[in-house]
């Protein structure tokens, strides 16, 4: 094939151009009918929603800093306020509060004007802070954002009084922030600065947020919740006054948050909270609907969070046994008003805590607690597998029953029955006269057999020792011998967990030594030990002495 430089000296210019095109075309393209001049690849612009999805993907992969760089270096056409809001929210979800505030400042610097959704996103994220001591600057940032939001709504109201940008939702989140930071006076200052009529008047969402804010932290000056409860009572009256103008609904969330805020107040505040439960949920301490609730036009459907609020009130009141009466009342309510189906494990544990709070004033409290746990197990069987877990008792449930209620009553039969339900073992197999080399263990579905801890074993031995019944002591010691003491200490665990483990191991060791001492000094001819008991007692004594004689400095 001739090269172009050699042809240039022999061919005319027209022939040279034709030959060059033919040569180039034959070299680059297989099809002689293809004309590249008629085709071009269109440019695809990056759209905002695609950029948002990419940012979310990076944040889900814990690459927030890379997502920030992507946003800042993306084309201007792909950037808008919703995209910036998306990344701000992802930063807040990842507890990068300072970075989220810096993005808020940067978006304004780049010409993107924050909208109501921006302020709502920032306030919602900052309200998630649990420990304000770790984020000292975020309160001042929240106050700055609130002032910017007030300027924003003032500008919007001036141009379009009916705009959807006018909303008090960011203020409701700001109320939660002020409550979590224990600056309740600032919260009421914000409330009194709101419009008395119009779009920006307080609604039931804002009042709910204020009641919740009063329930989080005590007043800084006093360190207790009594001023909070008094403020909650005042706030309820303010809510009723505002409702006459705005005509917003009183829903279960509003009433429940008010009840919780009033629960740790004075007896008069608690009585007022009980009256709210009667009026709006039809529940009274005596288990009957009050005349006022029967005459009410509409009873609010009882939701799980509402029942939890009322049980919290019972636990903090001077009569915690109200919780058991109300619990029984709910079991008999029709499902249309909120019956047994709304009860979950947390509600039963609150009822158990109320029995614990009642103390000596609740006769046979351990037996009542056992009945509650047995009801949970019976209810679990009735529910489908997808929802049965919500009522299934867990370790915390059995710990309340054994280590607190049974321990207070020194009720060994109830403790043994609870141990059976918890672990799947049969305490009967550890009794005198039972010849069984290996104790039975019921085969259950995953998660239903809960292994005992040192705290549970310590409580079992302590209950038996305090009962002064030598047969119960021997039974408890055989249970401990089956699980032993030292293996709990050798399991890998953190420093903090080891402290708790060593604490309960020491309690168990002391209870074992006391039980062995009672058996050695008070046993008579009728106290016949089972085969191998002497060897078991020696092993337990050796392990107990090892625990009590060890130094905490040897902890891992």
**SS3 label, residue 441:** strand
Per-residue tokens: 57: 């993907």
What whole-number distance in Å separates Cα of residue 262 and Cα of residue 400? 26
DSSP label at residue 341: G
What is the rounded distance in angstroms from the CA atom of residue 556 to the CA atom of residue 552? 9
| 286 burial type by CB count under 10 A (0-12 exposed, 13-18 middle, 19+ buried) | exposed
Which fold is adopted by the domain 70-219? 1.25.40
Predicted structure pTM score: 0.81
What was the pLDDT predicted at 32? 65
Q: How far apart, in whole angstroms, are the C-alpha atoms of residue 419 and residue 440?
A: 13
Apex CA 268: angle with CA 262 and CA 274, to 5°?
60
CA 315 to chain centre: 20
The pLDDT value given to residue 13: 52
d(CA 281, CA 296): 10
Distance CA 232, CA 212 (A): 10
Task: Report pLDDT for 34.
Answer: 66
**CA 90/CA 110 separation, integer angstroms:** 20
Closest CA to 358 of 317, 393, 330: 317
* Widest CA span in the chain: 133
Question: Helix 169-180 vs helix 204-216: angle between axes, to the nearest 10 degrees?
Answer: 10
Reduce the DSSP state of residue 187 to 3 states and report it. Answer: helix
> Quick one: pLDDT at residue 16?
46
Q: Which long-range contacts (CB under 8 A, 24 or more apart) does 83-86 make?
A: 83/48, 83/51, 83/52, 83/55, 84/112, 84/118, 85/115, 85/117, 85/118, 85/121, 86/52, 86/55, 86/56
How many Å apart are CA 448 and CA 201, to the nearest integer? 51
DSSP state of 77: G
231 to 68, 201, 220: CA distances (angstroms): 43, 20, 14
pLDDT of residue 334: 87
Give the residue among 164, 94, 91, 177 at the shortest CA–CA distance from 132: 177
Please report which residue ranges of 286-364 form alpha helices under DSSP H.
291-295, 304-316, 322-331, 345-358
Residues of the chain with pLDDT under 70: 1-42, 220-222, 285-297, 360-363, 527-530, 550-556
Burial 459-478 (b: 16+ CB within 10 A, else e): bbbbbbbbbebbebbbbbbb
Number of H helices, E strands in the chain: 28, 0
Q: Give the model's pLDDT for residue 28.
A: 58
Q: What is the pLDDT of residue 195?
A: 87
Strand partners for 327: none
462: closest CA among 522, 512, 428?
512
Tell me what pLDDT residue 327 has: 87
Query: In sequence order, what DSSP letters do the residues of 383-428 get, joined into one string?
Result: S-HHHHTTTS--HHHHHIIIIIIIHHHT-HHHHHHHHHHHHSB-GG
Nearest to 282 by CA among 248, 253, 312, 255: 255
pLDDT per position as a tens digit, 300-348: 999 999 999 999 999 898 888 888 888 888 988 888 888 888 999 999 9
Q: For residue 429, what pLDDT is reported?
A: 92
pLDDT at 284: 78
d(C-alpha 254, C-alpha 207), whole Å: 7
Please tell me the predicted confidence (pLDDT) of residue 179.
Answer: 92
Q: What are the extents of the domains in the chain?
A: 4-30, 70-219, 458-556
Q: What is the pLDDT of residue 551?
A: 40
Q: Are 329 and 372 in contact (CB under 8 A)?
A: no
Angle between helices 412-423 and 470-483 (to 10 degrees): 20
Q: Measure the CA–CA gap between 556 and 546, rounded to whole angstroms.
A: 16
């Amino acid at each position: 094939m001739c090269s172009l430089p050699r042809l240039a000296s022999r061919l005319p210019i027209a022939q040279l151009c034709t030959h060059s095109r033919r040569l180039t075309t034959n070299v680059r393209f297989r099809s002689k009918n293809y004309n590249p001049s008629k085709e071009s690849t269109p440019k695809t612009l990056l759209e905002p929603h695609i950029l948002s999805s990419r940012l979310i993907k990076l944040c889900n992969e814990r690459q927030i800093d890379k997502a920030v760089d992507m946003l800042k270096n993306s084309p201007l056409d792909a950037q808008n306020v919703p995209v910036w809001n998306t990344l701000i929210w992802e930063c807040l979800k990842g507890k990068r509060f300072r970075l989220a505030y810096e993005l808020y400042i940067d978006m304004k610097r780049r010409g993107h004007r924050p909208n109501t959704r921006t302020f709502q996103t920032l306030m919602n994220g900052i309200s998630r802070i649990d420990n304000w001591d770790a984020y000292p600057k975020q309160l001042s940032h929240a106050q700055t954002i609130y002032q910017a939001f007030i300027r924003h709504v003032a500008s919007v109201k001036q141009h379009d009084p009916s705009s959807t940008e006018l909303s008090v939702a960011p203020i409701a989140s700001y109320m939660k922030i002020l409550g979590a930071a224990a600056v309740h006076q600032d919260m009421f200052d914000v409330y009194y600065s709101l419009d008395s009529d119009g779009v920006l008047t307080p609604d039931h969402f804002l009042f709910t947020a204020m009641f919740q804010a009063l329930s989080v932290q005590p007043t800084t000056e006093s360190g207790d919740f009594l001023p909070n409860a008094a403020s909650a009572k005042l706030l309820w009256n303010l809510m009723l006054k505002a409702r006459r103008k705005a005509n917003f609904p009183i829903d279960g969330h509003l009433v429940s948050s008010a009840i919780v805020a009033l629960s740790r107040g004075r007896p008069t505040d608690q009585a007022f909270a009980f009256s709210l439960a009667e009026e709006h949920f039809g529940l009274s301490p005596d288990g009957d609907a009050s005349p006022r609730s029967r005459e009410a036009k509409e009873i609010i459907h009882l939701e799980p969070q509402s029942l939890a609020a009322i049980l919290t009130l019972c636990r903090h009141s001077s009569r915690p046994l109200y919780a058991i009466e109300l619990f029984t009342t709910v079991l008999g309510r029709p499902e249309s008003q909120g019956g047994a189906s709304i009860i979950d494990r947390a509600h039963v544990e609150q009822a158990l805590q109320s029995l614990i709070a009642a103390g000596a004033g609740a006769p046979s409290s351990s037996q009542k607690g056992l009945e509650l746990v047995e009801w949970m197990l019976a209810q679990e069987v009735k529910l489908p597998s997808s929802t049965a877990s919500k009522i299934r008792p867990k370790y915390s449930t059995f710990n309340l029953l054994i280590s607190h209620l049974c321990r207070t009553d020194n009720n060994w039969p109830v403790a043994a029955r609870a141990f059976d339900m918890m672990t799947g073992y049969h305490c009967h197999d550890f009794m005198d006269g039972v010849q069984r080399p290996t104790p039975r263990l019921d085969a259950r579905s995953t998660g239903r057999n809960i292994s005992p801890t040192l705290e549970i074993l310590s409580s079992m031995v302590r209950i038996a020792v305090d009962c002064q019944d030598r047969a119960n002591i021997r039974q408890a010691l055989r249970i401990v011998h089956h699980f032993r003491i030292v293996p709990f200490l050798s399991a890998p665990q953190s420093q903090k967990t080891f402290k708790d483990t060593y604490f309960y191991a020491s309690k168990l060791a002391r209870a074992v030594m006391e039980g062995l001492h009672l058996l050695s000094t008070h046993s008579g001819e009728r106290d016949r030990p089972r085969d191998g008991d002497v060897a078991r007692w020696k092993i337990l004594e050796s392990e107990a002495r090892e625990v009590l004689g060890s130094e905490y400095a040897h902890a891992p």
